[in-house]
Structure 1
Amino acid sequence: MSTDLDQLMTIDEVAEYLRVPVLTIRWLRQEGRFAPAVKVGRRLTWRVVDVEAWVVAQREAA
């Protein structure tokens, strides 16, 4: 049984969620500066919770 927290997003969905181009996601991943991907077959996907945790970690200090 899966929950909303286990949902996977494609690179297009991640880019749309973050409002950045797909190339930005690819670049961040290549640099090792993005949330870890889950490989499903030949496709990379990301868990929603991992992307959200990455976003929180990017927040600037107040």
Structure 2
Amino acid sequence: MEDKLLFVDEVAARLRRSPAQLRWMIAQGTAPKHAKIAGRIVFKESEVEAFIESAFEEAARA
């Protein structure tokens, strides 16, 4: 199965953050794994899902 590529607006909506907040997370190094392709920041859908799952696992340990 091929991973769907998501853009900043789509990931921001999924994380319930504004695009500006997501860009700040990228600058801080706290955003899901991403790449720049043709001048645009893109995320693999599986990486975003893993990022969310990781947050829940971390919260369960705390």
**TM-score if structure 2 supplies the norm length?**
0.83
Q: CA deviation at 1:24?
A: 1.4
Structure 1 residues 36-57: Cα deviation after superposition (integer angstroms, max 9, x where no partner): 1122110010000000100111
Q: 2:36 and 2:20 mapped to 1: Cα distance?
A: 18
Show structure 1 runs of 4+ deviating over 2 A: none
**Which runs of 5 or more structure 1 residues have no equivalent in the other structure?**
none
**Which runs of 5 or more structure 2 residues have no equivalent in the other structure?**
none
Higher helix share: 2
**TM-score if structure 1 supplies the norm length?**
0.83
RMSD after superposition: 1.4
Task: Give the paired residue count.
Answer: 59
2:41 aligned counterpart, secondary structure = strand
